[in-house]
Each structure stands twice: as structure tokens, then as C-alpha cells.
Amino acid sequence: MVRTLGSLLLVGCALVGAFPAAARDATLRISTYGTSLTANGGWQAPLAEAIGTCLRQPVEITNDGLAGAASDWGVAAVDAVAATRPDIVFLEFAVNDAALNKWIGVDESVGNMRAIVAAFRRQNPDILVYLMTMNPVSGRRSWARPFRDRYEDAHRRLAEEIGARYIDHRPGWEAMGADALYLAIVDGAHPTPGSATAVIVPNVMKRLVHDGVLPCATDRDR
């Protein structure tokens, strides 16, 4: 199933440049660090396949998320993850920071995210950091997060301030339309792995190509 999804999401790779031989032979290490949308997302293996197909080199993506986690956990646990010295990290904690029962204000959330990024950069000053906004939530999941937009906007501004990158997945979900979106996120918060893969993988690939990280063209660039 992973191979089929990877083939559909990445329509070949037209190389527009070449990495040095040493870089091509090295394993690209990527950490995904966040909430259940990371921990149970199911999009990491297809993303690793798509990137590996493009780079023609080994890619290792670790799933370092935790269901129910917020950025305070992220600060407490980051040193062990950062010690693996990944080349790229994808971060997302806004959805749970915004939950009323977490008691994390916007300023505290920003401070935590700043500390998490700093920890990764201490271990690898050349790391590429991507903060991400994930899928929409609905029903009681949305009611418990009445100010979610404020957290997501604050994380976007933080990324700009500290020289990190930012990926907003919301447009990809909203483009589905209401009926398809309901089927993709039946419980109001957690997408099916197939739906998450269909939105997140091509969006991340497009951004990595745009940023010059990947030397290939994806199906969305054609």
C-alpha cells in the first residue's frame, strides 16, 4: 500500500540538479515531532518513499510524536530527539496547545516552540526546521479549541522570526469540500492515514522542492 501511494503522489522525479556523491550516498534523517496528528498520522512512510525516490538515496523518518502531547511535553522530551541530529524536523503542537484543558497560553506556546527549535539547532546548527499547521477540527474537538487560530498564527509568525520554515496544510483539507472532509476526519480531529497521506505528502514535497531541498519536480509542479 505504501508503494502504491508513493507512486501516485510522486509522478516520477525530473532531476534539475545533482547532489555531490557523498551527499547522495548519505542517509537523510528526518524527525517528525508533535501530537497524535504526527504519532498516529500514518504519513511518514509514504513521505520517506517519495523523498527517497526523488533523491535516490536512503531516507529515514522517525515518528517522534505522542498522542495527547502539547508543547510543554515537547520541551521536556526534545533533548533525546535532538540528540539524534536529524537533518530536517517537522514540528506541530498548535492543535493541542490550543485545547482549553492544556492550560497553555499563546505566549507560553510560542516560548515552548522557540525552546524546541533551539534544542534541535544546538545539536545540529544546519538543521532545516519546518513548523506545520495540520488539519481542521470539528464538533466537540473544535469547541475545546475556540482560539486555535491564534496559536497557529503565532507559530507562523515565530517561524518567520527565527528563520524557520512554515507549512500550512489547511488549504489542502479545505479543498476537499464538506462531505469528503467529514469522511476523511470522521472523529473530528484525526484523519485516516490515507487521507493524511494524500494531503500532507504532496504538500510537503512541493514545499521541499520550492525551498531547493529536493532537486525534483512533483506532480503538483507539472
Provide mean pLDDT across the span 138-163.
97
Provide mean pLDDT across the span 3-19.
37
Q: How many CA atoms lie within 13 A of 53 on its CB side?
A: 22
Portion of the chain with pLDDT greater than 90, in percent: 85
Provide mean pLDDT across the span 41-67.
97
Tell me, what's the pLDDT at 216? 83
Q: Alpha-carbon dihedral of residues 3, 39, 58, 6, nearest 10 degrees? A: 20
Tell me, what's the pLDDT at 108? 98
pLDDT at 2 over 80: no
**Furthest-apart CA pair in the chain: how many Å?**
52
Quote the CA–CA distance of 18 and 110 in Å, as a whole number: 37
pLDDT tier for residue 218 given thresholds of 50, 70 and 90 = low
How far is residue 93 from each of residues 13, 71, 176, measured CA to CA in Å? 32, 6, 24
pLDDT at 178 over 60: yes
Provide mean pLDDT across the span 63-87.
98
Q: Is 102 helix (H, G, I), strand (E, B) or coil?
A: helix
18: exposed, middle or buried (C-beta count within 10 Å: 0-12, 13-18, 19+)? Answer: exposed
Nearest to 166 by CA among 153, 148, 150: 153
Quote the CA–CA distance of 159 and 110 in Å, as a whole number: 10
Give the three cell numbers for residue 40.
Answer: 498516529
pLDDT at 20 over 90: no
Q: Is 20 helix (H, G, I), strand (E, B) or coil?
A: coil
Helix axis angle, 193-210 to 2-9, nearest 10°: 40
pLDDT tier for residue 214 given thresholds of 50, 70 and 90 = very high
Residue type, 38: T
